Amino acid sequence: MNEGPEGFLFIDKPEGPSSFAIVSAVRRAFKVKRVGHGGTLDPAASGLLVVALGSATRLIPYAPLEPKTYRFGLRFGLRTDTLDGAGTVVESGGSVPARDALIAALPSFCGNLMQVPPEYSAVKVGGVRAYRMARRGVPQELASRPVSIRSLNLLEFDEAAGEALLEATCSGGTYVRSLARDLAQALGTCGYAASIRRTALGPFQVAAATPLSDCTPGRVRVIPSGEVLGGMARIEVGEELKRRIFDGRTVSFAELSGGAPRSGGIPRPGETPWPAGSVLAVDSDNTIVAILEPGAPGHYHPERVFNRSGESAATGSPGRR
C-alpha cells in the first residue's frame, strides 16, 4: 500500500459491522496504511462515524468531535446482558412507566454525572477488555466514570409498546446503553437500548454523511484536514519558520506575528490575548505544517509536525507524544 489520500471521511455507519471492520474496509478501498476513527460505534448502533486517512489520523484529537448527539429507543420491561438489542434477555417482567413520570425523570440525568459502563464494553479491567471477561462469564465490577450530559429529551413515547425514543447530547465516553439502563432503574423498572443512532459529532451531522456503500475512491470526497479543523486558530508561516518547526524548534509569539493571520486566526500581540490552546500553523498554500502548543512564556512548541508530502515528521517536546 502507498500513502494514499489524506483527510477525513464522514460515514453513515449501518447496524451490523463494527467500527474496526469499517476502518479495515476503508484501508483496503483507499489503499492507505494509516486509518483511524474518531469515536467507536457499537456494531448494533448506526450513524455518524468519522474516519481519518493517512496523516490525518494524527489530527483526530484536535478535530471538533464533541459533544456527541444520539437518538435511542429505550424499551421498558426487559433487560439484556449487553444492554442493547443484540444481547440475550436476562431480566423481564418490568413495568412501563407513565409518560409524565418519564419526562419528570429526565432532568436528573443532565449535567456532570458518574456512570458505570456496560459489562459488554471495551473498558479494561486489570488490562483485559470487559467484554472479553463478560463473554467468559467472569464476574466483574466496573468503576463508575465521570460523564457530562448536556441535554436529554423525549421525542416519542408509545406506552402500549413500552418504548420511548429519546435524544441525548453528551460528552465523549458516555455510554448510551448505560444511560438507558440507569433511566429505567430510576423509574423503578428495567430497560435496554433497543436502537442507537449517532446523529452528530460536534458541528458535523449524519445528514451530510456518506452511506458506507458509497465510501470508495471516485464516489466520495475525502475532506481535507484544514476544512475539518476550520474553527481552530491558525497562522501562516514562511519558509524559514517552517524549516525551524520541521526541526522541532520552539518559535516565539513575535516571530509568529510576522506572518499573515488568516480569518479566525491569531491577532497580533497587543490587540487581543493570544489563544491559550493549540494553534494550527499553515503555509502559503494553506497546507498544514504543524500543530503548535503553548510552551515557555511567549513561545509555542511544535507538537504535531507534517512535512511537505503530508507525512508525519519530528514532534517537539519529547515525552508529550
- Classify each residue of 266-295 as buried b or exposed e, where b means 16 or more C-beta atoms within 10 Å of its C-beta: beeeeeeebeeebbbbbbeeeebbbbbbbb
Cβ 155 vs Cβ 166: under 8 Å: yes
Set of cell numbers at residue 65 = 468531535
CB atoms inside a 10 Å sphere around CB 120: 22
Question: ω before 67 within 30° of 0 (cis)?
Answer: yes
> Cell 492507505, residue?
32
* Phi, psi at 303, each rounded to 5°: -100, -40
Per-residue DSSP letter, 261: B
The answer for residues whose C-beta is within 8 angstroms of residue 192's C-beta and 6 or more apart is 74, 75, 78, 79, 80, 82, 83, 84, 85, 87, 177, 180, 181, 184
Cβ 157 vs Cβ 96: under 8 Å: no
Set of cell numbers at residue 52 = 481519518
Q: Greatest CA span in the chain, whole angstroms?
A: 71
Cβ 77 vs Cβ 191: under 8 Å: yes
Catalytic member of 42, 182, 247, 285: 42
Task: Burial-class residue 92 by CB neighbours within 10 Å (0-12, 13-18, 19+).
Answer: exposed
Catalytic annotation present for 12? no
Name the residues annotated as catalytic: 42
